[in-house]
Amino acid sequence: MDVKEIRKQFPILDQEVNGKPLVYLDSAATSQKPVQVIEAVNDYYRRYNSNVHRGVHTLGSLATDAYEGAREKVRSFLHASSTQEIIFTRGTTTAINMVAASYGHTNLEEGDEIVLTPMEHHSNIIPWQQAAKATGAQLKYIPLQEDGTVSIEDVRNTLTSNTKIVAIAHVSNVLGTVNPVKEITKLAHEHGAVTVIDGAQSTPHMKVDVQELDCDFFAFSAHKMSGPTGTGVLYGKKHLLEKMEPVEFGGEMIDFVDLYDSTWKELPWKFEGGTPIIAGAVGLGAAIDFLEEIGMDQIEAHESHLADYAMKKMQEVEGLSIYGPEKRAGLITFNMDTVHPHDVATVLDSEGIAVRAGHHCAQPLMKWLDVTATARASFYLYNTIEEIDKLTEGLIKTKEYFGDVFA
């Protein structure tokens, strides 16, 4: 994989921030976009912007073909068996909310259990809290190991015959933990439960095969995988989606509308009320083409190399605490003793280095870590070893800068 060549395709990376070359280490929040994606969205608006599935004119057909073509690209990317299982959403949050509001509200009742982990992003906690409140079901958490991983033994001990839904991140956005979602799904199925996998942090970085995982629902966002914001996908097994009620009602999702009753379109369109985010889907399709041309295995190997190197280098910085397991996806969450993560991020920014600081939408996990906030450096296919060296140098300088204060 030629990272230099790849970087040339991301125009935003070629700039200075605060007088220093930009080092973008916040791809877990949102990734940058290659020119192929920017052009695809641009081309759609310049050449064939039109509404989809309506009317008979030529532009309408072009837009529909591009939109449905993107759906087929997603199907193939996830190795789903049918495009009927691919629903375009606004992002991972919307996708999980759809499952909680539709599947959850219909299938949960008092005494049922929804099983989560403390490492979930807020968007994989709150929809379930709401579903639990509405139905009388209960939330249960699989405890974490000390290093921030989940043991299959604990999963086995947490699931019961009352468990109806197991919702878990494929990759933790804070710890970088890669969860054994295939094994968890197998155990969930043995108890008659379905799994909902939050794939926001895995899909951009590794090959995902929903049939191999055998998960029932899988959600991800386009913007973290070099696609546009405002677009995401809910994958669901066809037999489950067929029995689910739509969450949004209105234009385009209907079959017949009468004054007092209506019927729905077939899958996947019954879940896509209103004019969809057409340009977003087109951009996601272009992002998938871009990533697949490079190869997901190559991308994963590159990021794994970066993460290993960063772990080694950052552990050499005195006073740095790193959270999460040794073996991890391409992100490192850390704190510098005596310096608040905001201050770390501000000093790094003055060096042109962009990292995230805060609670990363994972307040329960912050509590588990016993911190109020952390800093996070996250990597993608365009990051380099030299950039990790700059990060490490920046951290040493941060320590020196504030060292004077606390001396």
Question: Would you name the residues annotated as active-site residues?
Answer: 361
- Our finding on whether 405 is near other proteins (CB under 8 A) is yes
Does residue 351 touch other proteins according to CB under 8 A? yes
Residue 17-46 contact track with other proteins, rule CB under 8 A, x = bound? -x----------------------------
Identify which range of 102-110, 164-172, 327-335, 347-355 contacts other proteins by CB under 8 A: 347-355
**Contact flag: residue 321 with other proteins (CB under 8 A):** no
| Closest of 110, 149, 124, 175 to residue 331, by C-alpha | 175
Interacting span for other proteins (CB under 8 A) from 192-200, 201-209, 233-241, 357-365: 357-365
The three-state secondary structure class of 350 is helix
Contact 351, 390 (CB under 8 A): yes
* Least distance in angstroms from the C-beta of 346 to other proteins: 6
Query: How far is the first Cα of the chain from the last one, in angstroms, to the nearest whole number?
Result: 45
Interacting residues with other proteins between 62 and 121 (CB under 8 A): none
Positive or negative: CA dihedral 15, 17, 22, 26: negative
298/346 with CB nearer other proteins: 346
- Does 16 engage in binding with other proteins (CB under 8 A)? no
Q: Does 129 bind other proteins (CB under 8 A)?
A: no
CA distance 205 to 300: 6
Q: Give me the least distance between CB of 394 and other proteins, in Å please.
A: 9
Q: Does 358 bind other proteins (CB under 8 A)?
A: yes
**Closer residue to other proteins, CB minimum distance, 190 or 318:** 318
Q: Which residue matches tokens 């982990």?
A: 117
Of 212, 316, 346, 386, the residue at the interface with other proteins (CB under 8 A) is: 346
Tell me the backbone φ, ψ of residue 145, rounded to 5 degrees.
Answer: -70, 165
Estimate to the nearest angstrom the gap between the alpha carbon of 29 and the chain centroid: 9
Over the range 345-371, which residues count as b (16 or more CB within 10 Å of their CB) and which as e? bebbbbbbbbbbbbbbbbebbbebbee
Percent composition of the chain: helix, strand, coil (DSSP 3-state, to 5): 45, 15, 35
Single residue of 366, 375, 388, 395 touching other proteins by CB under 8 A: 366
Which spans of this chain sit near other proteins (rule: CB under 8 A)? 18, 340-343, 346-347, 350-351, 357-359, 363, 366, 372-373, 397-398, 400-401, 405-406
